[in-house]
């Protein structure tokens, strides 16, 4: 699938780029740590970048990193097609300028206004903290549309709807 191919490509390109950077500029990295198996001494990543970072540093073999990427892509595909969590269309957005607790309250209100049951946390929920006062929110498109308007009204500095068909980084993935 396109998602699988794009995610594998991202991991491979990121691992190759990290190794190329290290080969060209080893002083950028903490070279006091012993390298093993040609791996970088350290790297960091977010989301799919975590898989690339763990692969680049040797915590995952390339084979295992690609296996994790494949399984992750399958979960995202099943979620975006409605095979997981809910048959309702899903989406995500990024919210900047509101405290996490405020965003969680807005999610509850959005779920209610969109007609979700009180216990349907998959309808709208906070995903990950990106940096202080910035989080991702994912859920059912109808509740997400309500959430976006509520967040803007509440004074969010920025609310950006992502071009995603799955509520990644939320409880929907875990289920």
Rounded distance between C-alpha atoms, residue 27 and residue 12, angstroms: 23
Would you give per-residue pLDDT tens digits along the chain (175 residues)? 677 788 889 899 999 988 888 888 776 665 554 444 455 666 778 788 889 988 888 889 999 999 999 888 887 777 666 565 455 778 889 999 999 999 999 999 999 999 887 667 678 899 888 999 999 999 888 999 999 999 999 999 999 998 776 666 676 666 5
In the chain, count H helices and then E strands. Answer: 6, 4
Q: Are 138 and 144 in contact (CB under 8 A)?
A: yes
Residue 8, classified by CB atoms within 10 Å of its CB into exposed (0-12), middle (13-18) or buried (19+), is middle
pLDDT of residue 34: 44
Q: How far apart are CA 126 and CA 49, in angstroms?
A: 20
pLDDT, position 57: 84
* pTM of the predicted structure, to 2 decimals: 0.67
Residue 18 CA to residue 127 CA, distance in Å, equals 27
Distance CA 103, CA 100 (A): 5
Q: Determine the Cα–Cα distance for residues 156 and 106; give it in Å rounded to an integer.
A: 11
Give the integer Cα–Cα distance in Å for 69 and 121.
Answer: 26
Q: Other CB atoms closer than 10 Å to residue 109's CB: what's the count?
A: 16
Q: How far does Cα 132 stand from its chain's mean position? A: 16
């Amino acid at each position: 699938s396109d998602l699988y191919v794009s995610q594998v490509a991202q991991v491979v390109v990121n691992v190759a780029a990290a190794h190329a950077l290290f080969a060209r500029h080893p002083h950028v990295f903490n070279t006091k740590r012993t390298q093993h198996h040609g791996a970088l001494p350290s790297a960091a990543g977010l989301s799919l970048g975590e898989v690339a970072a763990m692969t680049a540093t040797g915590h995952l073999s390339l084979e295992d990193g690609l296996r994790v990427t494949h399984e992750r892509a399958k979960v995202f595909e099943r979620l975006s097609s409605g095979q997981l969590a809910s048959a309702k269309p899903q989406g995500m957005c990024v919210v900047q300028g509101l405290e996490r607790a405020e965003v969680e309250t807005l999610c509850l209100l959005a779920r209610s206004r969109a007609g979700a049951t009180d216990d349907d946390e998959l309808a709208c929920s906070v995903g990950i903290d990106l940096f202080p006062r910035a989080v991702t929110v994912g859920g059912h498109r109808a509740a997400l549309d309500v959430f976006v308007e509520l967040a803007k009204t509440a004074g969010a500095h920025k609310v950006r709807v992502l071009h995603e068909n799955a509520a990644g980084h939320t409880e929907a993935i875990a289920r």
